[in-house]
């Protein structure tokens, strides 16, 4: 579980996050949504420790990251897996080397054992026969799956994904979303996904935090988001024509006869 209390982050005079408080639950897919510039990526990077917030605390289980010493922070990092928006695979390494990388850095196991683990994880994300290929030789969807495999290879307690289905076709997006949800449940991970894709919200949004101009203006589940009266949320959710039509149908069905 991750708990955030009163998180503030500024760049120069511009305040990006304005006191965010929320909880991300274990074994659930937690989504941070909001339009571009709402502070989603900054929030995620604060959770990851890539940005240092000016105020507020982030608790991993019951310990605030701000109160951890260097060793505790290092241990925490070994429990974190991250899927970046552009996959961030090391392009000088093969798929196998990419997935093996965190294992090589943090374990003293023999190469055969490392290879076994790599093959198990690659099979889990439905990737076969790509071990010796370089990231530039595989498709965007495959790269995302390799990134997921690399993120879970060390059995992390926390999985962070920054727009995991950006640049993917709708079918592959759903596959990636479902894969993340399956892994979250299977390994009982606390997963936090940064997204602006409403399909993801519908598919896997067990807990949703809606950000606008650096404020957390709404939180709830994927069932609740379609019923809320919060204007900012409805404007965001129904900004696409497809969801507008769905809304119209829903309203018609619910209208008194």
Question: Rule CB under 8 A: which residues touch another protein?
Answer: 45, 48-50, 73-74, 77-78, 80, 82, 84-86, 88-91, 101-102, 104-106, 160
Could you tell me the smallest distance in angstroms from the CB atom of residue 191 to another protein? 15
Which of 61, 239 has the CB closer to another protein? Answer: 61
CB of 75 to another protein, least distance (A): 8
Between 187 and 238, name the residue whose CB sits nearer to another protein: 187
State the nearest-atom distance from the C-beta of 80 to another protein, in Å: 6
Rounded CA separation 165/124 (Å): 18
- Asked whether the beta carbons of 67 and 242 are under 8 A apart, the reply is no
State the nearest-atom distance from the C-beta of 68 to another protein, in Å.
12
**C-alpha–C-alpha distance, residues 216 and 91, integer Å:** 36
Q: 125 or 216: whose CB is closer to another protein?
A: 125
How many helices, marked H, and strands, marked E, lie in the chain?
A: 10, 10
Q: Which is nearer to another protein, 194 or 219 (CB)?
A: 194
Kindly state the smallest distance separating residue 106's Cβ from another protein, in Å.
8
Q: Which is nearer to another protein, 37 or 86 (CB)?
A: 86
Distance CA 146, CA 127 (A): 8
State the DSSP string of 31-91. EEE--TTSSHHHHHHHHHTSS--SEEEEEETTEEGGG--HHHHHHHHHTEEEEBTTB---T
Query: 126: which DSSP letter?
Result: T
């Amino acid at each position: 579980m991750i708990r955030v209390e009163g998180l503030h982050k500024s760049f120069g005079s511009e305040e990006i996050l304005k006191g965010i408080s929320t909880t991300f639950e274990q074994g659930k897919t937690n989504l941070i949504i909001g339009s571009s510039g709402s502070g989603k990526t900054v929030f995620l990077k604060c959770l990851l420790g890539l940005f240092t917030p000016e105020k507020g605390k982030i608790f991993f289980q019951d310990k605030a990251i701000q109160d951890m010493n260097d060793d505790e922070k290092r241990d925490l990092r070994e429990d974190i897996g991250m899927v970046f928006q552009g996959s961030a695979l090391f392009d000088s390494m093969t798929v196998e080397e990419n997935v093996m990388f965190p294992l090589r850095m943090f374990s003293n196991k023999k190469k055969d054992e490392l290879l076994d683990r790599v093959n198990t994880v690659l099979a889990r994300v439905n990737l076969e026969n790509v071990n010796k290929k370089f990231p530039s030789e595989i498709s965007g969807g495959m790269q995302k799956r390799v990134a997921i495999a690399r993120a879970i290879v060390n059995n992390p307690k926390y999985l962070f994904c920054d727009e995991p289905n950006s640049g993917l076709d709708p079918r592959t997006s759903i596959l990636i979303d479902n894969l993340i949800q399956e892994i979250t449940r299977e390994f009982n991970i606390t997963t936090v996904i940064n997204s602006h894709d409403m399909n993801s919200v519908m598919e896997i949004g067990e807990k949703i935090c809606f950000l606008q101009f650096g404020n957390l203006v709404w939180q709830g589940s994927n069932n609740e988001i379609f019923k809320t009266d919060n204007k900012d949320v409805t404007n965001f959710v129904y900004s696409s024509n497809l969801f507008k039509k769905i809304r119209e149908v829903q309203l018609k069905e619910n209208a008194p006869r």
